[in-house]
Amino acid sequence: MKQNFLDMISCLSPSGFEQNLQQYISKTYKSDDNTFEVLEKGELSAIYNKNSDFGIMLAAHADEISLIIDGYNSDGTLHVAKNGGIRTKLYVGCKVKVLTLKNEVLYGVMGLRGNVSAKSDIDIDDLYIDMGYNSKEEAMKFIPIGSYAVHDTDTRELANNRISGRAIDDRIGDYIIHEAAKLAFQNGSKNKIIVTTTTGEENTGRGAYQAVEHYKPQIFVAVDVTYSTDYMGADEPGHVSLGKGGVICNGSIPNRKLNELLRDCAKELNLPIQDEVFAGRTGTDADTAYKAIEGPAILLYSIPLRYMHSPSEVVDFNDVENMIKVLARFLVKINKEFNLLPYEI
């Protein structure tokens, strides 16, 4: 199973051009047990038990952060803008893959205007891409405006079943929701399970909003990454560690009863689970789903991740395997009789 995830990382899927990953997911997970559908904003959904009247949407975003080419410099280098939560310092001196609008992949390196040692901070306008072109005209011939650039890094398996690579945020969520839905169906879940890989989470939230409005699920489960705080120099609040299980979000957006049920499922399986707090916005598709006109009850179940939005994010695959089992159990146990109201009157 792990190979599916490793293959997902190899797909280039910047916000606004998610088709490569979506097509891989459809090819890999389409079966006689589900039906796949695509909506206008590019989100892809696999639906199990399509005729059931109780719908649970599992959502993870298919897009990754990137740079977007928005102009050309006279020397043939490319001017770039942010496409998502870019950390500009992490691009200095890096190799990049440039994805054109014709779905061609070309290669370049990041350049920096001026002396990096003299800069206290690096703005996006300080960066450019050098692809070897000699003039603006030559660059324009090969690289259309609106093309994308992502880090050109390798995926590596580390010690203790850990994996490093770019775009683990949120390829790992895409993998978990599809594996969990498949397992839940095999284990007898009768609920309508809508497995949606959303688009544009890193910049607009366009996919999650349309998917919720279209399918109108009673429950929306967002599976995304969250900050691990267990390494030297981590400056995020909370106590989240690799290898200690998935993370339940506590706050004003998630439904407390769903949190309790997920926690009970982990206990039944004797699997670890962790907690974090986001009192308001969570920075995930859960925020978007919460604002839908007929908003579903929300659950946010996250994967601990080191070095988020870097070319070398790190995840513990033991957490991933545990989360799949817990989420599958959740999908089997819950049904339309479950009371989602936060309190009684």
DSSP structure string for 37-51: EE-TTS-EEEEESTT
Give the chain's mean pLDDT. 93
Per-residue pLDDT at 205? 84
212 close to 70: Cβ distance less than 8 angstroms:
no
Cα(170)–Cα(229) distance, integer angstroms = 18
Lowest mean pLDDT: which of 44-48, 86-90, 163-167? Answer: 86-90
Instruction: Name the CA dihedral angle for 316, 321, 322, 324, rounded to a multiple of 10 degrees.
Output: 130
Residues 208 and 71 in one domain: no
Same domain, residue pair 136 and 201: no
- Model confidence at 326: pLDDT above 80: yes
pLDDT at 116 over 70: no
**Same-domain status, 91 and 30:** no
DSSP calls for 248-299: EEESSSS-HHHHHHHHHHHHHTT--EEEEE-SS--SSHHHHHHTSTTPPEEE
Residues 297 and 173 in one domain: yes
Q: Are residues 56 and 136 in the same domain?
A: no
Residue 90 domain-assigned (yes or no): yes
Same domain, 183 and 137: no
pLDDT score, position 261: 97
Within 8 A by CB and 6+ apart from 237, the residues are: 229
> Which domain-ending residue is among 151, 185, 207?
151
Total domain count for the chain? 2
The number of angstroms, rounded, from the C-alpha of 155 to the middle of its chain's C-alpha atoms is 17
Per-residue pLDDT at 22 exceeds 90: yes
The percentage of the chain sitting over the pLDDT mark of 90, rounded to a whole number, equals: 81
Q: Please determine, for residue 120, whether its predicted confidence score (pLDDT) is greater than 90.
A: no
**51 and 108 assigned to the same domain:** no
Give the domain-ending residue among 99, 118, 151: 151
Q: What is the model's pTM?
A: 0.95
Q: Give the mean pLDDT of 232-240.
A: 78
Domain of 318, CATH number, reads: 3.40.630.10
Given 123, 151, 179, the domain boundary residue is 151
Q: pLDDT tens for residues 198-227? A: 999 988 888 888 999 999 999 999 999 999
Do 299 and 212 fall into the same domain?
Answer: yes
Q: Can you tell me the mean pLDDT for 104-131?
A: 87
In-domain check, residue 343: no
- 296, 281: one domain: yes
Which range of residues forms the domain containing residue 306? 2-64+166-333
Look at residue 100 in the predicted model and tell me its pLDDT. 97
114 and 225 housed in the same domain: no
Average pLDDT of the residues in 176-189: 97
How far is it, in rounded angstroms, from Cα 140 to Cα 236? 42
Is residue 180 included in any domain, yes or no? yes
Closest among 315, 168, 182 to 245, alpha carbons compared: 315
CATH code at position 85: 2.40.30.40
Beta bridge mates, 108:
96
In a domain, 72, yes or no: yes
Query: What pLDDT is recorded for position 217?
Result: 96
pLDDT at 118: 66
Q: Residue 12 in contact with residue 150, Cβ under 8 Å?
A: yes
pLDDT at residue 276 is higher than 80: yes
User: Does residue 226 lie in a domain region?
Assistant: yes
Q: Is residue 345 included in any domain, yes or no?
A: no
The answer on 86 and 215 residing in a single domain is no
pLDDT score recorded for residue 300? 97
| Residues 96, 55 share a domain | no
Q: What is the pLDDT of residues 288-312, one digit of tens each?
A: 888 876 779 999 999 999 999 999 9
Q: Is residue 43 assigned to a domain?
A: yes
- Res. 185: pLDDT tops 90: yes
Inform me whether the pLDDT recorded for 119 exceeds 70: no
- Structure tokens belonging to residue 305: 């991740």
Nearest one of 31, 305, 328 to 171, comparing CA atoms = 305
Say whether pLDDT at 117 is over 70.
Answer: no
